[in-house]
Structure 1
Amino acid sequence: MTAAGTAPAAGRPRTVLMCPGQGAYLPGALRHLAQVPAVAEVLTAVDTHAPGRAGGVSAARVLTDPGGPAPEDLVRADPLAFDLATYAAVVATAAVVLDHLPVPADAVLGHSVGDLAALTVAGVLTVRQGLQLLRIRDRLLTTAALPAAGMAATDLTPAQAADLIRTCDTPQVRIAVHNAPAQVVLAGPDAQLGEVGARALDRGHRVTRLVSRTAYHHPLLDEVSRSFRSLLRAQPVAPPRLPVHATAAGRRAHTPDRLRAMAAAHLTDPLPFHPALLALGRAGFTTYVDSGPRALLAALAKTALPHCAAVAPLRTPADADRIHRRLTRVPPAGSAAEGPC
């Protein structure tokens, strides 16, 4: 990833705010933050501009109700509500994090569909635009003639995964996401994905089917991607207030064309998240803050960059005071702290 021109002045931690994607969904994630003005504003926007459809689920409500539907149930019942809730949770939490960071954030990094949240956090898109784009994407996915397909997390290296795909003769299975040295996500049609998964299990590897409505980061979505990218051309984009790193492209996004491309990258582009973290580490970024409730990206950052600080202030979920305390006690880069703070 090209980081030229993005590193802040020396003498203080260089902080990256990370925005997770669909793995960040958690019922009731914002229940302790609902009265915070920035969070209330996002929840109101969801209710106003993306209200639950007749018989559907209120995306805003599931974020304040810990008894809300589990991820797999919500994806099955109302995949749009799942996407809206995940996006809103990350954007709202990021607003709280930015208010409580002891030093300003220096960059924002998205993971998969978390790129839409990253673009919103950076001021490129408004919350209303993000919600509208998710509704447009939902319509395109719903009307496309897509086969049954999905995604699976494994403890394979990229080389092992590629070898297994060749051995199984499953050409439609792709390496969708490279999260860690021995953690890749595979995507493809259900039958071929199941075949590769079974072979991996036979070889003693771990395979976990992910909650996902389809195979993202995969050519199966080429038609959806073309339509979505075409519609994105009409979207106004503002200059980023924070440097934005386009993970799939492996470079900073600052022109309107690159920013719009980033909004669609999760559909078909492979996601080299681990290489992106390594590049940011080489560029001198030392602190990585996860704006999701599950500490998923903080764990990946700690794996990639063990001498850097990684913090997930919303885990378990937390109120504003606890988020503030967690952010102000981030261990210095190079300390021996184990795992996410």
Structure 2
Amino acid sequence: MCPGQGAYLPGALRHLRYVPAVAEVLTTVDTHAPAHGSLRVPVGRLLTEEDAPAPEELLRSDPLGFDLATYAAVVASATVLLGLTRHRVDAVLGHSVGDLAALTVAGAVTVRQGVQLLRIRDRLLRTAALPAAGILATDTTAGQAADLIRACGTPQVRIAARNAPAQVVLAGPDAQLAHVRRALEDSGHRVTPLTSRTAFHHPLLDEVHRSFRSLLRAQPLARPVLPVHTTAGRWATTPAHLRTTAAAHLTEPMELHRTLLTLRRAGFTTFIDSGPRALLSGLVRAGLPGCATAAPLRTPVAADRILRRLNAVAPPRRPGPGPW
């Protein structure tokens, strides 16, 4: 599983900087990234130095650097896990902008292409006339969130993700989102603002989505070596599906919980979180009790410790035939 927002952790790969696969990813990203942002910190340094800027600081001063570091962290982490695991990996799943990392891990796009696509997306976001907007996570059900949005009279706040039975992400313009946040907190709910440059998974980004999809048509795609599943609940089996997946995080709501249930019915019982922290493995535990999960890079550690964490996961049962 390839996480998106929240996967950047300063120095996350500091114990792996000399692993050839990690060094190759970081070098490729820095080679093809522009000299951008006021910090001008190479992605390699962001992910290998413990005193690198915190997520909020990096996003504020260098949004593209934040995006590239998030992408590189997940791709490099997944590459390490694929090299270490003693079990066959049957599929890859992206979450939000983690879909682009998932496509890279699956072999549909190269790291260089991933950097180019993030640069294109950054330009589109910077030139669009977008209002100040963001996203926040709540401990409500989807029904509770919808009722509260109506009661608050905040029609531009939308459900951006249904991650677990009681974990919903909301997105919208800052003023309306703040109103909903106050109402949630007054009702005793937990609310966590997420580090994000705008309201992803929201119609505010319709124009950016159309432009990005148009530019994606010119991108050559390879046949994935791993099946790609999306949080829209389907396999991405054609070039058109893969391009749709790369742009989905801009406007499409995520249905992670429904997707996990679909995968479970297909026979998948073991889910490995390939990002720093343990963002997605926690959601799997909340929504699929009884399945095996692991987040081997939840804290920065060397390859031997990652291997021990992987080996602690129960051997998976074989899923049914994939889409190939």
Computed over aligned residues only, the root mean square deviation of the Cα atoms, in angstroms, reads 1.2
1:146 equivalent among 130, 134, 143: 130
2:157 equivalent among 155, 167, 173: 173
Tell me which stretches of 4 or more aligned residues in structure 1 moved more than 6 Å.
none
- Mapped partners of 1:170, 1:157: distance in 2: 18
Equivalent position of 2:45 in the other structure: 61
Equivalent position of 2:198 in the other structure: 214
- Mapped partners of 1:152, 1:298: distance in 2: 19
For residue 331 of structure 1, report the CA deviation from its aligned partner.
3.0
- For the Cα contact (< 8 Å) 2:172–2:199, is it kept in 1? yes
Structure 1 segment 217-228 matched on structure 2, within 5 A: 217-228=201-212
Structure 1 segment 55-94 matched on structure 2, within 5 A: 55=38, 56-94=40-78
Equivalent position of 1:271 in the other structure: 254
- Mapped partners of 2:41, 2:139: distance in 1: 34
The TM-score, its normalising length taken from structure 2, stands at 0.96
For residue 47 of structure 1, report the CA deviation from its aligned partner.
1.4
1:187 equivalent among 171, 179, 193: 171
- Mapped partners of 1:242, 1:83: distance in 2: 24
The TM-score, its normalising length taken from structure 1, stands at 0.91
Partner SS for 1:317: coil
Equivalent position of 2:276 in the other structure: 293
Partner SS for 1:212: coil
Equivalent position of 1:15 in the other structure: none
Partner SS for 1:32: helix
Structure 1 segment 12-23 matched on structure 2, within 5 A: 18-23=1-6
- Mapped partners of 2:282, 2:288: distance in 1: 10
2:264 equivalent among 272, 276, 281: 281
- Mapped partners of 2:52, 2:41: distance in 1: 10
Residue 161, structure 1, aligned to residue 149, structure 2: no
Deviation string 1:287-326 (CA, Å, 9 cap, x unpaired) is 1000111111111111122111100011211111111111
Task: Tell me the amino acid that sits aligned with residue 101 of structure 2.
Answer: A
Equivalent position of 2:321 in the other structure: none
- For the Cα contact (< 8 Å) 2:37–2:65, is it kept in 1? no
- For the Cα contact (< 8 Å) 2:104–2:114, is it kept in 1? yes
- Mapped partners of 1:99, 1:333: distance in 2: 17
Task: Tell me the amino acid that sits aligned with residue 287 of structure 1.
Answer: T
For residue 85 of structure 1, report the CA deviation from its aligned partner.
0.3
Task: Tell me the amino acid that sits aligned with residue 234 of structure 2.
Answer: R
For residue 254 of structure 1, report the CA deviation from its aligned partner.
1.0
Residue 95, structure 1, aligned to residue 79, structure 2: yes
Structure 1 segment 329-340 matched on structure 2, within 5 A: 329-331=312-314
- For the Cα contact (< 8 Å) 1:52–1:81, is it kept in 2? no
Q: Report how many aligned residue pairs link the two structures.
A: 316
- For the Cα contact (< 8 Å) 1:155–1:206, is it kept in 2? yes
Residue 205, structure 1, aligned to residue 227, structure 2: no
For residue 53 of structure 1, report the CA deviation from its aligned partner.
2.4
Partner SS for 1:288: strand
For residue 51 of structure 1, report the CA deviation from its aligned partner.
4.1
Query: Residues 54 and 330 (structure 1 numbering): CA distance in 2 closer, same or farther, change over 3 Å?
Result: closer
For residue 328 of structure 1, report the CA deviation from its aligned partner.
1.3
Equivalent position of 1:125 in the other structure: 109
- Mapped partners of 2:189, 2:179: distance in 1: 14
- Mapped partners of 2:35, 2:67: distance in 1: 12
